[in-house]
Amino acid sequence: MSNQYAHIIGWGKYLPPRVVTNEEISRIVDTSDEWIMARTGIRERRIAGPGETTATLAFEAAARALEVADVHPSEVDLIIVATSTPETIFPATASLVQDYLGSRNAGAFDLSAACSGFVYALSMASNAISAGSSQVALVIGAETMSRVLDWQDRGTCILFGDGAGAVVLKGSSVPGGLLASSLRSDGSGADLLRLPAVYSSPVPGLDPTFSANGHPRTITMNGRQIFRFATQVVSDIVEEVMEKADLTPDDVALIIPHQANARIVEAAAKKLKMPVERFFLNLEHAGNTSAASIPIALCDAVEAGRLAPNDNVIFVGFGGGLTWAASVLKWDVTPPPVSLSQRQWRRMRYVIARTRSRLRQTGRSVSSMVSGSPTPEARMRDAERNEKKSRSKKKRKA
């Protein structure tokens, strides 16, 4: 062990500009603003636009977190993106973010633990820092849930939204930062909340989650069972992680739960005998953004002045898998001030990173042409040319 503690030194969020209100959803499915507000606490959510992807949302959040931390992208040596909505299984969304940032010294991978993903990723990155294999890690939760929803299912389409949140973790010999984590899973509840992968069923007609309109795969959920599961595990794992960190409920300044449903949080607060005001909620305006919800809520909590130096804060996530997880963190870093010109220069850096990336792609095409190992397009052209030649040869012979 390297005796390093993982401290959060930067945070950032990105929500797409397009707002979808409950009223707008009530024009698509049979529901109402009153029903959604009363049962969930959600009033509106954000939906990604045509040019936005999970990777672009993640990049925006990560760039803002690096800015707060005053960390150059090349200092980052690990990027983990917790997501259930990557555009591709590979490349990982984290690799795309690494490229957009120009973090040329970083390893990058995605982590799949549904709505618990951010807490899992935070724990993995913190362990990497404690073990000495990483010094500066970017932990991101990013989702485009709107693209995997069945917009005819009023039980699920009212709940979810899109967005991304990120934190920068840095190793330091100063005790503090991430104090303890607990991670859990119960795969026997796999059917309660499910998002099939691209080729999970070879026969679309036999797969109930493959809708007739050609939309590939969507989320299915047993709302009541998930509600029951969540109210149980949130209180259990919060108690467990407090015990690990040797804290009592009075030592905890703030709990940032996964933003799924205000009633779940009220029930958990009651079980823990903690005032519900100690739980931070922003789901009224962001909805459930799955793995992104905790880091987005963290940014909003900081903005709202809900965290002071040396506060103990608990993150608690739960969701598909089933999975659930909690971490305790000592909030102990005051970020350095960043001037407008520094901010502008940093934005330029990402334009340069994209240009470099394009140049590398072009360089690869050129070198494969020069070395005689053709690109797939060149191979196709050669094959067509040879086919034409052999056809005209046959004609001549005939």
Catalytic residues: 115, 258, 288
Draw the binding track, 273-312, toward ligand COA (x: CB under 6 A; -: no contact): ---------------x------------------------
Q: Determine which residue in the list 223, 249, 335, 374 makes contact with ligand COA, applying CB under 6 A.
A: 223
Draw the binding track, 39-78, toward ligand COA (x: CB under 6 A; -: no contact): xx--------------------------------------
What whole-number distance in Å separates Cα of residue 329 and Cα of residue 181? 9
In the sheet where 177-185 sits, what is the strand order? 177-185, 323-331, 311-319, 252-257
Q: Where does this chain touch ligand COA (CB under 6 A) — which range of 57-65, 184-192, 221-229, 370-378? A: 221-229
Provide the minimum distance between the beta carbon of 31 and ligand COA in the complex, in angstroms, as a whole number: 3
Reduce the DSSP state of residue 185 to 3 states and report it.
strand
Dihedral over Cα of 280, 286, 290, 294: its sign: negative
Q: Determine which residue in the list 53, 181, 182, 261 makes contact with ligand COA, applying CB under 6 A.
A: 261
Q: Where does this chain touch ligand COA (CB under 6 A) — which range of 96-104, 130-138, 224-232, 271-279? A: 224-232
CB 365 within 8 A of CB 217: no
In the bound state with ligand COA, the residue whose beta carbon lies nearer, of 159 and 267, is 159
Strands 193-194 and 220-221: antiparallel
| Tokens 């636009």, residue located | 49
Instruction: Please list, in sequence order, all residues whose beta carbon lies within 8 angstroms of the beta carbon of residue 339, skipping any fewer than 6 positions away.
Output: none
Provide the minimum distance between the beta carbon of 219 and ligand COA in the complex, in angstroms, as a whole number: 9
What whole-number distance in Å separates Cα of residue 139 and Cα of residue 120? 10
Residue nearest to ligand COA (CB): 223
227 binds ligand COA (CB under 6 A): yes
Q: Determine which residue in the list 55, 80, 226, 329 makes contact with ligand COA, applying CB under 6 A.
A: 226
In 3D space, the residue among 144, 138, 135 whose CA is nearest the CA of residue 121 turns out to be: 138
Tally the C-alpha atoms within 13 A of residue 392's C-alpha that lie toward its C-beta: 5
319 binds ligand COA (CB under 6 A): yes
In the bound state with ligand COA, the residue whose beta carbon lies nearer, of 96 and 113, is 113
What whole-number distance in Å separates Cα of residue 40 and Cα of residue 283? 9
CA 283-284-286 angle, 5° bins:
55
35 binds ligand COA (CB under 6 A): yes
In the bound state with ligand COA, the residue whose beta carbon lies nearer, of 31 and 235, is 31
Q: How do the residues of the chain divide into helix, strand and coil, expressed in percent and rounded to 5?
A: 45, 20, 35
Q: Determine which residue in the list 191, 197, 224, 355 makes contact with ligand COA, applying CB under 6 A.
A: 224
Residue 278 token pair: 């100690």
Q: Where does this chain touch ligand COA (CB under 6 A) — which range of 166-174, 180-188, 218-226, 333-341? A: 218-226
In 3D space, the residue among 126, 147, 131 whose CA is nearest the CA of residue 80 turns out to be: 126
Residues 136-195 that bind ligand COA (CB under 6 A): 154-155, 158-159
In the bound state with ligand COA, the residue whose beta carbon lies nearer, of 40 and 181, is 40
Provide the minimum distance between the beta carbon of 141 and ligand COA in the complex, in angstroms, as a whole number: 13
Residues that bind ligand COA (CB under 6 A): 31, 35, 39-40, 115, 154-155, 158-159, 221, 223-224, 226-227, 260-261, 288, 319
